[in-house]
Homo-oligomer: A and B are copies of this chain.
Amino acid sequence: MVSTRTAPGISDEPVEDSTATRPLSKEELRAIDAYWRASNYLSVGQIYLLDNPLLKEPLKREHIKPRLLGHWGTSPGLNMLYAHLNRVIKRDDLNMIYVIGPGHGGPSLVAHAYMEGTYSEVYPNISQDAEGMKRLFKQFSFPGGIPSHVAPETPGSIHEGGELGYALSHAYGAAFDNPDLIVACIVGDGEAETGPLATGWHGNKFLNPARDGCVLPILHLNGYKIANPCFLARIPRDELQKFFEGMGYAPYFVEGRDPAAVHQQLAGVLDAVVAEIKRIWTDARTNGKVMRPNWPMIVLRTPKGWTCPEEIDGKKCEDYWRSHQVPMGDMDNPSHIRILEDWMKSYRPEEFFDGNGRLKPELAALAPVGRRRMSDNPHANGGLLLRDLKMPDFRDYAVAVPSPGATTAESARVMGAFLRDVMRLNLEAKNFRLFSPDENNSNRWQDVLEVTNRCYMAEIYPEDDHLAPDGRVMEVLSEHQCQGWLEGYLLTGRHGFFSCYEAFIHIIDSMFNQHAKWLKVCNEIAWRRPIASLNYFLSSHVWRQDHNGFSHQDPGFIDHVVNKKADVIRVYLPPDANTLLSVTDHCLRSRNYINVVVAGKQPAPQWLTMDEAIKHCSEGLGIWEWASNDKGSEPDVVMACCGDVPTLETLAAVELIRDHLPDLKVRVINVVNLMKLQPSEEHPHGLSNRDFDALFTKDKPIIFAFHGYPWLIHRLTYRRTNHKNLHVRGYKEEGTTTTPFDMVVLNDLDRFHLVEDVIDRLPQLGARAAYFKQAIHEKLIEHRQHIQKYGDDLPAISGWKWGLKGAAGKPRGTSTEEDNI
């Protein structure tokens, strides 16, 4: 029934000759093993104990937590690696951080931070003595204590445990532009099955050994995940080897179940690997060989749950999935208490702790000191290293707008010119990168390539377009990689911007979630210093995916974003280029937020001068006086808009209304900062009810043209006085490959439907309304007939300009041909 191939079980034969030598002296071996046992002891203690941390008295039920929460299985392997990394850090004064993919192994990282003293420095209550150890144990996974997973609370971490798959992307992001940093990155063999991790390996095609640091991936091949074996542990060794060689790595294998043997192997491999990393760096930097090397990586094949009881109640535990979480429950069973006690004593705590629970000095001396401790490396608290960007004056990039609507520009492209100069000014500081899934130019940031290149470490051909090992535009066709790299880059104290098609940003919904949660928690941790905001530029948005069609149309990322805590998220929909410039500047200066900016890339009318734009953006929303005619009186209707295309349609509707119903008082409000709509108690940017009522009136109809799903506006405003008169148009999931104007028509967001919405809500129009409505309907029929015949919008539509009173200007091109330029 079963494959005839043989995946080798774990053996203790040293693998290949990599460890033919035994690098550790007897004394070193004894010490490092004691260090490892200490961390194992502390890991088990965190999971189980409430009291009696040193097991000085016989273990009793009341010393044990009533609810057992935590993950043991991965911890011994993580502990082993940590101890050995310490050895080479200390010996070679390495600058290293530790990214743990299986971040459910929270106890491990906490144990090491505690052993090397950082933990007590950061949390003085958790002192390095018996009392502190008791608190350390109790707080773990305990109400009012710390989470079970690696979390922002954990010193030394930039990578939260929980959702698996992003370890390598975070690690590469951290290594970029940190030329002497080694990011040791543990990949769970289960985690390795996820999509994001599977492509994460390819970060090596973008890591420049002259400029960047190094990622040292360590596959933690402990064979199991929650309840299943991992397939990488069940394929033949040569297949696994080819797998890594095929991804451009030089794999080193360490394998065994006898700790002494594994210590020797691992030490030998780490010596080899560190030497190799140094050789690669030197080659690239001194000898000028900037080529993609075969970076080393390690496969560590040891038993899951290593050193816990082999069997519990007759059931296999060590080297099996059963050791994944808490290997043994039901601690009301006295025999379980004995098993736990024996298990913990098997580490021989008396050999590593003094009588008061302090790590013996000769062992404590094994850890690096100060900032070299992985738990205290400043790269893992990036805010410490963060420097402001040098910023050009965004006003210098202003589009001239002699009168509203007079000029046409591509907002995204104007933003690109600004970003080009941000890039230029910070080239030397090496702390700014742009990220995009092969859409940098499609999203119109191509001007950036005037001052830098796209980063590439695979083969480059002469005909290639702005591709170089030292580029700062990161293009890979993986939204996951873009997001993960950017997070890693920001978390280690640098700056960036992610440009993406609006619809496909949903690919990283869950990564966004985790980053937003990270930021929320960091806001509550004093020692975590603020980092640069994570900035999204979403273009090629729902309204201008007329060429790619339905699969590319979805404005729902904003809906997803606003579910997260108000104090970490910001959403901007600038209506034109100058507002986009102002918002971009703001985003690049902000800290600890996630900023979402949505704006188009196609030629579109420009509304505000730079001065007006700045004011409008600082207010976040406001009346556009030049488009309104209600000054000095109450409006009959409020026409609100948010997003560039809805703004265009609203203004075209307003003009129609003013032409046909000149006595109607119309107030036009544009919203650029979406969070302004929320009550001030819900979001720091929220308008007070008084201000909201003043703007939107207490009783007049509001026709709101929105970029996204209409119900989002309702959700943000349902508590407002005039909510009952609010009528929202937006995307209602109707789309296909068609013309730009037809996209808005299909969703009733076009000028004609907006006019009709106004008419329907103003009974006072009486008989005049009927004629006007009929004219409107005829326009829509004309539109449909025209596009079905010519495949393009009516010139009167695509050439419409504010203030020309229907005498259309030169049609703005609706072409999308530039999309892959």
Contacts and interface: CB of A to CB of B under 8 A. Distances in A.
B564 A560 contact: no
A541 to B, nearest CB: 15
Given A438-B190, A563-B559, A461 B229 contact: yes
Interface stretch (A2-10, A412-420, A802-810): A2-10
A669 interface: no
Given A477-B191, A714-B715, A551 B3 contact: no
A229 B455 CA distance: 12
Contacts of A457: 3
Given A3-B459, A245-B239, A820-B325, A475 B228 contact: yes
B199 A162 contact: no
A565 interface: yes
A486 B457 CA distance: 37
A169 to B, nearest CB: 9
Contact of A737 (B69, B165, B821): B69
Interface in A551-576: 551-552, 554, 556, 559-560, 563-565
Number of copies: 2
Contact of A459 (B6, B467, B739): B6
A241 B242 CA distance: 9
Nearest to A556: B563
B162 A549 contact: yes
A494 to B, nearest CB: 23
Interface in A46-68: 50, 65-68
Contacts of A742: 143
B792 A67 contact: yes
A249 to B, nearest CB: 10
Contacts of A225: 438, 477
B478 A66 contact: no
Contacts of A104: 548
A709 interface: yes
A227 B195 contact: no
A321 B246 contact: no
A454 to B, nearest CB: 7
Given A198-B199, A551-B163, A791 B226 contact: no
A144 interface: yes
Interface stretch (A29-37, A147-155, A583-591, A768-776): A147-155
Q: Which of A143, A461, A548, A563 has the most CB of B within 10 A?
A: A143
Contact of A547 (B2, B141, B738): B141
A788 interface: yes
A193 interface: yes
Contacts of A784: 143
A819 B1 contact: no
A316 interface: yes
A792 B199 contact: no
A525 interface: no
A376 interface: no
Given A147-B549, A229-B456, A234-B458, 8 more contacts: A69-B547, A142-B737, A148-B548, A149-B549, A193-B199, A227-B821, A242-B243, A520-B733
7 contacts: A141-B547, A162-B548, A194-B477, A226-B442, A228-B454, A239-B248, A240-B246
A428 to B, nearest CB: 19
Nearest to A325: B820
B4 A147 contact: no
A820 B6 CA distance: 27
Nearest to A789: B143
Contacts of A819: 226, 325
Contact of A467 (B146, B191, B228, B325): B228
Contacts of A246: 239-247
A818 B228 CA distance: 15
Contacts of A7: 458-459
A438 B227 contact: yes
Nearest to A323: B820
Interface stretch (A284-292, A364-372, A624-632, A748-756): A284-292
Interface stretch (A273-281, A510-518, A527-535, A592-600): A510-518
B565 A733 contact: yes
Contact of A292 (B5, B240, B788): B5
Contact of A162 (B144, B552, B565): B552
A194 B205 contact: no
Interface string A197-216: 11110100100000000000
A813 B649 CA distance: 59
A509 interface: yes
A658 interface: no
A320 B463 contact: yes
Interface stretch (A20-28, A295-303, A352-360, A500-508): A500-508
A379 interface: no
Interface in A218-233: 225-231
A738 B65 CA distance: 13
A5 B291 contact: yes
A520 B718 CA distance: 29
Contact of A709 (B200, B241, B475, B563): B563
5 shortest interchain CB distances as A-B pairs: A162-B551, A243-B246, A195-B195, A329-B817, A242-B246
Nearest to A517: B550
A396 interface: no
A3 to B, nearest CB: 4
A350 to B, nearest CB: 28
Nearest to A324: B820
Contact of A556 (B69, B141, B549, B560): B560
B198 A193 contact: no
A736 interface: yes
Contacts of A513: 503, 506, 554, 556
